[in-house]
Amino acid sequence: MILKNFFKFKFIFIFLAGAVQLIGITSIFAMEYPSKPVQVIIPWPAGGSTDVSTRALINATKKFFPQPLVPINRPGGAGTIGMTEICMAKPDGYTIASNAWGPMVTQPAIQKLSYSEKDYLLIMQTWHVPRVLIAHPSQPHKTVKEFVEYVKKNPGKIRVGLAGTGTTDHFAVLEMEKKYGIKLTIVPMGGGSPQMLAVIGGHVDVATPTYSEASAAIQAGQVVPLAIMDLNRYPLNKEIPTLAEFGYSIESGVANFLIAPAGLPKHIFKIIHDAFKKGFEDSEYQEPVRKLGYLVEYLSPEESHKKIEKFRKLYIQLANEFGLSPK
């Protein structure tokens, strides 16, 4: 009996010792990250909105992260080159990205890509800015109601300047045509700055830039703001009504997200998320981003996923209906 109990207790001791050792090893692995600098891919040129806001976020986050955060610009392909790189990166937490959402919502609708929504994880949304429907002061319409009535009586007469084909404002205009039953003449301008110059100069009748791009011209009276393309009025200018207030809730804008490769271990994902969330909440990040005219708006990983999926599916549907889908 004594010998039997001896072996029984010896077995329990060995089991518990092994369990403690396993827990210790697991803790060591969890504590090992990060053991070297982390690359933050920015799929746009230096000096652009994504680059400036990302570097501000990195500067604010570095005090909460034990290793250097290194920004690396990978411009090209409307953000898809850098997006491809992050989707192909090793999911070890040493390569993440900060990207505007176009490569995740609009580009999949208009071209065949080497990545899909299964190849990346959304860590958080870092900012958002809605688009605004603006008109040249010479136009007879000063409200959305007047605009719709005029366009219905004059189909194709109104020229709308867009940042480009397949952009979020392009899809917003297509959605307006569908929901309002109107026809506009679309004029791609090749960027937000040419878009603003065109509507200020009267070369197009209306345009749909982001509010941050249009704010100076709105304040100077060079353009007339008809409606914010969001569900709620814009906090930086609550006098402008939303399209939703005229019967149709059309949302359009630009949003930015932190992204990681699919397969990233949960404990590493949490370390990255929590550090950048602290950086996001820091004034060193929020102040310069607000100066850009953006809403400092956090969305959790789950909320970010729902938002991306909502617009990705919407734009794929619109691309199919309007003949923009890749053949």
The 10s digit of each residue's pLDDT in 312-322 is: 999 999 999 99
Phi (first) and psi of residue 120, to 5 degrees = -145, 160
What is the CATH code of the structural domain delimited by 130-246? 3.40.190.10
Q: Nearest Cα to 299, choosing from 264, 268, 258?
A: 258
Tokens 């090749």 belong to 190
Q: What is the pLDDT of residue 248?
A: 80
Closest C-alpha to 265, from 125, 90, 45: 90
How far is residue 210 CA from its own chain's centroid? 13
Measured CA to CA, the distance from residue 327 to residue 188 in angstroms comes to: 21
Domain with CATH 3.40.190.10 in the chain: 130-246
The pLDDT tens digits of the residues spanning 78-129 come to 999 999 999 999 999 999 999 999 999 999 999 999 999 999 999 999 999 9
Closest to 153 (Cα-Cα) out of 129, 174, 183, 108: 183
With beta carbons less than 8 A apart as the criterion, state whether 226 and 147 touch.
yes
Would you place residue 19 in the very low, low, confident or very high pLDDT band (cuts 50, 70, 90)?
Answer: very low
Alpha-carbon distance 267 to 92, whole Å?
11
- Express each pLDDT in 171-191 by its tens digit: 999 999 999 999 999 999 888
- Which part of the chain is CATH 3.40.190.150? 35-128+253-321
Pair 276, 124: CB distance under 8 Å = yes
Of 173, 158, 153, residue with least CA distance to 205: 158
Taking 60 as the threshold, does the pLDDT of residue 29 lie above it? no
Rounded to two decimals, what is the model's pTM? 0.87
Q: Does the domain spanning 35-128+253-321 belong to CATH 3.40.190.150?
A: yes
Burial 175-208 (b: 16+ CB within 10 A, else e): bbbeebebebebbbbeebeebbbbbbeeebbbbb
Q: Measuring CA to CA, which residue among 249, 257, 270 is closest to residue 297?
A: 257
